[in-house]
Amino acid sequence: MTLKDKTNLTRTFICIDFSDEITKEIARIPPLLDKKFVGKFTELENLHLTLKFLGEISLEQINKVKTLLSNISFTNFQAHLEVLGTFSIKGHPKILWIKIAGRQIYDLQKQIDESLMQLFPKEERFMSHLTIARIKHIKDKVDFDHTLKNITVKKIMFYCNFSSISALMPSLKQSSTNFNASSIVPTPDP
């Protein structure tokens, strides 16, 4: 692959975006964990549930993805925020997340996987979660764990429909596309 080929690639993933109500609940959490760790909270406008990460792909691949995803069908479904948790490496938390509960999310992710299996490998272990922070270092693990255990996430219900599924394609000040029943259709930057 030449340098020119690499510059024509777009980081792409298929995801569910969240309503203002969900974003407001998530925005309540960072101040509760302020100064408990060194790292970075996810910007509120970037919150999403990744259903499938596609990586850096070409416009040709994006067009193939659009065609393949146009065959997916699912009924609107309900999901909700559940609990806070962390992904750890060797006992050191690295990702702070909120679980998104709803059986149909797993069904939808499986459909996406199956639709794209000729282009991308199957997800080995999908977990329905929303990353809210990346952790470099925890200052006091006992205090962090205690604080985390005492934060209650409101179990806000929300509906997933085709207008809430997106394929985001960031590149500097990003472009994005919305996934609808028939295809992925580009939309202008906000």
- C-alpha to C-alpha distance for 190 and 176, rounded to whole angstroms: 9
> Cα separation of 74 and 146, whole Å?
40
Q: Active-site residue among 80, 129, 137, 146?
A: 129
Write out the H or E segment, with its range, that includes residue 129: strand 129-138
CA distance 101 to 181: 23
Please identify which of the residues 48, 80, 92, 137 carries the catalytic annotation: 48
**Three-state DSSP class for residue 122:** coil
* 25 neighbors 156 (Cβ within 8 angstroms): yes
Q: How many CB atoms lie within 10 A of CB 36?
A: 20
Please indicate whether residue 92 is annotated as part of the active site. Answer: no
Give the whole-angstrom CA distance, residue 27 versus residue 157: 17
Active site residue 48: yes
Catalytic sites, residue numbers: 48, 129
